[in-house]
A and B are shown apart, each in its own frame.
Chain A
Amino acid sequence: MLVYVIRRSMQSMVVLFVMSLLVFVGVYAIGNPIDILINPQADQMDRERAIAALGLDQPLWQQYFVFVKGALTGDLVRSVVHATSALDLILERMPATMELAIAAMLIAVVFGLPLGLWAGLKPDGIAGRSIMAGSILGFSLPTFWVGLMLIMVFSVMLGWLPSNGRGPTTLLFGLIPVSFLSWEGLRHLVMPATNLALFKLALLIRLTRAGTRESLLQNYVKFARAKGLRNSRIIGVHVLRNIMIPIVTVIGLEFGSVIAFATVTESVFAWPGMGKLLIDSINLLDRPVIVSYLLVIVTIFILINLAVDVLYSALDPRVRLTDARG
């Protein structure tokens, strides 16, 4: 197992290297790095100094090392607007986004799994059909518009929930500021998290339903029935065990997409996460922040992929360490 984890980690390092190369080429070779990385309002002296600091007067391969070193030490580039390290800026906003994304994923799993299972077991029943129709709606609802409608109903019309911001935060483990530990923070969290969860909820329902239907047709389910097992055991152990593999994989991989889609939800609910920071930065042409965001999100994606792979091999005994492909 350990060997497998180490090997996968090394593969991830390679992907990260390739991605960093891509970002580097995108910024340095195709675009004009001076435009992208340096404040357009800077005077000539500042420009000269920045060019020397970034090593733009050196050959391209040396520039790459400077770029990587900057990225690793967190001193990549300075935000034009905020005048601080762009990476620090993003890391500071990250807990808010992570909290939102995890809450959304939890909502999607807690509701999606049982509903999908039900729809898969009784595909022709009224409940099963309604769940499926609902999931099509969940797929079709534009996230940002649902956000607006949630605000309209729960903030403007009913006045139950706050329409924007994160509310008061509490330090988790004395380190990470989170909202969910206080009642007021929870009230702020519930609407954006639900909004962000809707799409993934629909996805999980369909995935669970399809997996359940597929698995019910398998011979091992028929054999389990022939053994005289109770339905609860057939579904709870035989079926669920088998559909958990694709579901865990998808939950893992979709987590990255939830973080990406948080940009929209954060903008609607003025949630102070890194997604809103990205949108603001694009609008303000604060390119250093965009570049840093890109590197951070690529790293997150690679870490998620790694975690999913490791989890996958833990869930499926057939994935032997010896024949695990790269």
Chain B
Amino acid sequence: MSTIVPAAVEGATPYAMQSPWRRIVSDFLANPLAVFGLALLALIVAAALLAPVISPQNPYDLAQLDVTHGKLPPGAKAPGGGTFWLGTDDQGRDMLSAIFYGLRISLMVGAVSTILALCIGLAAGVTAAYFGGRIETLVMRIVEIQLSFPAILIALILIAVLGQGTGKVIAALVTIQWAYYARTVRSAALVEKRKEYMEAARCLALSPARIVFRHLLPNCLPPMIVVATVQLAAAIALEATLSFLGLGLPITEPSLGLLIANGYQYLLSGKYWISFFPGVALLLTIVSINLVADQLRDVLNPRLQR
């Protein structure tokens, strides 16, 4: 038995014939800036995860701190023979170690709130799109009103009403973010709903759950990934802002925002490093996420595919 090999297989696979995921990956990798962002992000996440292993010092073990080594400039010699590469804060804490630990907290708060908001927004959006009618009107009206107010304002009000604490900051971030997901899911779902395969799925009398999970969700996925990436960066930035204002995480959870706030008072006397380096770490985190998000948006947007 002989098999006929189509001509196309012999050469390189034509661009249009690749599987969608492979095409997305190859499109993503085509932009060096985005690859740089992804690599940077991987490095940052690794640093955060491995903080206890790679930090020169445990910055919150009071036994290791010595106030007489407080506010040392970057590059100063540490008593144990090491070097404070990024200087020390007022407590004599090694800034590099503090930043690794701070990244951990900032990323954790950002990721947890993003995942929670994603789940809530997804559920609300799909519910609204699938059932329509009054439920949809209600959900979308709430989303609309909420999105017409800036995130920072809602966060401040919520913190003012709820009080402070890690859980409350996460609650505030989730409250702000869910609306973005709900809106995105609903509009994506509405487009899908009008397509013929949905009609076909319903004619086959498939259960609603099956339609939603097997048909609707996979098609809502690309825009959701983009929104989630953007929102992760926004959540990290907002948490840092709240913490800087003294309205975010408690002092026992020293995120990057708190580190920056702590250095604020020393800034005017020229001791820049206490605020500067945590800020750079925050900036690099957000930039790397945004670079990835930007490329994802282009790659996943069917309208821009050439």
Contact = CB atoms under 8 A, between A and B. Distances in A.
A touches B in complex, CB < 8 A: yes
Interface of A: 26, 31, 133, 136-137, 139-145, 148-149, 151-152, 155-157, 163, 253, 256-257, 260-261, 263-264, 267, 278-279, 281-283, 287, 290, 294, 297, 301, 305
B199 interface: no
Nearest to A254: B150
Nearest to B269: A156
Given A261-B152, A301-B148, A163 B268 contact: yes
B160 interface: yes
Contact of A264 (B152, B159, B290): B152
Interface string B146-158: 0011101100110
A274 to B, nearest CB: 12
B270 A140 contact: no
B33 interface: yes
B231 to A, nearest CB: 13
A23 to B, nearest CB: 10
Given A26-B161, A133-B33, A151 B267 contact: yes
Between A133, A145, A260, the greatest number of chain B beta carbons within 10 A of the residue's beta carbon is seen for: A145
Contacts of B290: 136, 139-140
A264 B150 CA distance: 13
Contacts of A305: 148
**Interface of chain A, helix or strand or loop or mixed?**
helix
B272 interface: yes
A145 B233 contact: no
Give the interface size class of chain B. Answer: 35 or more
Contacts of B237: 140, 142
The 8 closest A-B pairs by CB, nearest first: A257-B150, A145-B279, A260-B150, A140-B286, A260-B153, A140-B287, A282-B160, A144-B244
Interface in B286-301: 286-287, 290-291, 294
A8 to B, nearest CB: 15
Interface string B222-263: 000000000001000100110011110000000000001000
Given A261-B150, A282-B247, A301-B148, A140 B283 contact: yes
Between B156, B264, B267, B268, the greatest number of chain A beta carbons within 10 A of the residue's beta carbon is seen for: B156
Given A257-B150, A264-B241, A145 B160 contact: no
Nearest to B240: A142
Interface of B: 33, 148-150, 152-153, 156-157, 159-161, 233, 237, 240-241, 244-247, 260, 264, 267-268, 270, 272, 275-276, 279, 282-283, 286-287, 290-291, 294
A283 B244 contact: no
B150 A278 contact: no
A145 B283 contact: yes
B201 to A, nearest CB: 33
A140 B294 CA distance: 12
A107 B159 CA distance: 31
Contacts of A141: 283, 286
Contact of B291 (A136, A149, A267, A279): A136
A152 B152 contact: no
Between B153, B161, B244, B268, the greatest number of chain A beta carbons within 10 A of the residue's beta carbon is seen for: B153
A278 B161 CA distance: 13
B283 A143 contact: no
A30 to B, nearest CB: 9
Contacts of A256: 149-150
A115 B118 CA distance: 34
A148 B156 contact: no
Given A133-B33, A261-B150, 14 more contacts: A26-B161, A31-B161, A137-B287, A144-B245, A148-B267, A151-B267, A152-B267, A156-B268, A156-B270, A260-B152, A263-B153, A264-B245, A279-B247, A282-B160
B157 A290 contact: yes
Nearest to A129: B33
Contact of A267 (B148, B161, B245, B268): B245
Between A278, A282, A287, the greatest number of chain B beta carbons within 10 A of the residue's beta carbon is seen for: A282
Contact of B153 (A283, A287, A297): A297
Contact of B286 (A26, A142, A279, A290): A142
Contact of B160 (A156, A261, A290, A297): A290
A139 B267 CA distance: 24
Contact of B245 (A279, A287, A301): A279
Between A139, A151, A281, the greatest number of chain B beta carbons within 10 A of the residue's beta carbon is seen for: A139
10 contacts: A31-B161, A142-B240, A149-B279, A152-B276, A155-B268, A263-B152, A264-B241, A278-B156, A279-B156, A305-B148
